[in-house]
Amino acid sequence: MSTTFVYLLTLTIGTIDGWMNAMDKELNFKCPAGTAVYEINSKHDNYFEDRVFEILCRPTGKSSSGCQWTGYVNSFEQMFEFQCPNQSVLSGMESIHDNTAEDRRWKFYCCSFHGTLSECQKLPKTHLDYAWSLYAPDNFVFRGVASSHDDNYHSIQHLQLHDNAYEDRQFEIGCRTTDKTTTSYQWTGELKET
């Protein structure tokens, strides 16, 4: 009886193992003051056609202030390219899921960074329907996000065929160094098939 109860509880909560949202539910995460996002882990589920996310923060080594949320940066099934303005860094993410579109709309939380940030470099694009982990090495933080939704429309002589093969979103993260002595990095994340 207790084993059945624990199993049902796990299905109901949906945020076990560090995930910050449940499938088809809102994600709303903000880093503590003085920290910024440096790692994002995600896993896709084909039944829900959605993703769960784990977002990790670390101290920037500089003070941050002037934090604010953006409005939504995309409509459902639309691509977006977002970068925190001026000298600010990514310190939070919020999204809502829609079951009809099988997609998410995104808002971002940016905090002013009192220091010098290098030019933005992009990590490789994530793969559709895969679990993935994007990590910024020491002295780097995430600054922007680009993303496109793939619901696998094909255009054949002006006809659009929709086969729902993926119903997933690819992400590409922009990363900047917070240390003038560090000028480049190697991406060390690994894409894992679900």
8 A C-beta contact, residue 42 and residue 51: yes
What predicted TM-score, i.e. pTM, was given to this entire model? 0.76
Tokens linked to 5: 């109860």
First to last CA, the chain: 31
According to the model, what pLDDT value does residue 108 have?
95
Which of 108-112, 143-147, 156-160, 175-179 bottoms out in mean pLDDT, i.e. has the lowest? 156-160
According to the model, what pLDDT value does residue 63 have?
62
- Could you give the percent of the chain with pLDDT greater than 90? 33
According to the model, what pLDDT value does residue 162 have?
29
Which of 16-20, 57-61, 91-95, 110-114 bottoms out in mean pLDDT, i.e. has the lowest? 16-20
The secondary structure of 76-137 as a DSSP string is: TT--EEEE--TTEEEEEEEEEEETTTTEEEEEEEEEEESS-----EEPPPPPTTEEEEEEPP
Return d(Cα 173, Cα 120) in angstroms, integer: 10
According to the model, what pLDDT value does residue 158 have?
35
**What mean pLDDT value characterizes the chain?**
74
